[in-house]
Amino acid sequence: MNKIKIILVEDHPMVRIGLKSLLSGSDHIDIIGEASNGVEAVDLIEKDPPEIVVSDISMPQMNGLALAKHIQENHPDIKVLLLTIHMEPEYIIEGFDAGIMGYLPKDSSQEELIEAIETIYTGGKYMSQKVSEIIAQRLIRKDPFHKPNTKLTPREKKILEMLVEGDRNKEIAEKLSISVRTVDTHRTNIMRKLDVNNTAELVKKAISDNLI
């Protein structure tokens, strides 16, 4: 694997130093820039685009959600991982709606942080177990008697539920005893039926429309 070019965006210097120390434990990661807010990050991106931006949410001038939206609109090839103390469902949903590829709590381990970065780099999306549980609890609290009608089959609904909970295609295939290719086909059909273009939109629609 080539070295992954990273920009860290965090307004607390000590936290930023700690993150840099954690990520230095990987031979695959190259931190090419550091910023204390979204405005500084945008300047760095314009000068030397990274492959991944690891950003906090709560920051002065431009927060992490606004930064993610800016990157999605102006540099769609750059992936964003939010690393934050905010575990409210609204933040998580807004983050994925803004185009992020991963969401982690700040108390994540070094191993999980590196795993998230490597997963995102290879085209996947990453939610920590804690984030997946929060989303699942949000779904459970929804009123089961007010689910909108959909054209999803029972199998598609099951796969949609597993996707929202953070399972990857391979994990879904193993749990349901079907091939990864079959999961891919179901996933494509679900996205077509729900008129969404990516997993982030799929998760947001499933939660906002109470499809599970």
- As its CATH architecture, domain 142-208 has Orthogonal Bundle (1.10)
Buried b / exposed e along 13-52 (16+ C-beta atoms within 10 A): eeebeebeebbeebeebebbbbbbbbebbbebbeeebbbb
Residue from 119, 77, 72 nearest 100 by CA:
72
Q: Would you state the structure tokens that stand for residue 141, as one six-digit string?
A: 């609290």
Classified by CATH at the fold level, domain 4-128 comes out as: Rossmann fold (3.40.50)
pLDDT of amino acid 149? 44
Q: What share of the chain is helix, strand, coil (3-state, %, to 5)?
A: 55, 15, 35
Which residues of the chain are in CATH 1.10.10.10 domains? 142-208
Angle at 56 between CA 104 and CA 124, to 5 degrees: 40
pTM for the model stands at 0.67
pLDDT of amino acid 142? 56
Distance CA 34, CA 49 (A): 12
pLDDT of amino acid 140? 63
pLDDT of amino acid 48? 96
Mean pLDDT of residues grouped by 10 in the chain (212 residues)?
A: 92 94 90 96 96 96 94 94 92 88 94 94 90 78 49 86 88 91 88 83 80 72
Which residues of the chain are in CATH 3.40.50.2300 domains? 4-128
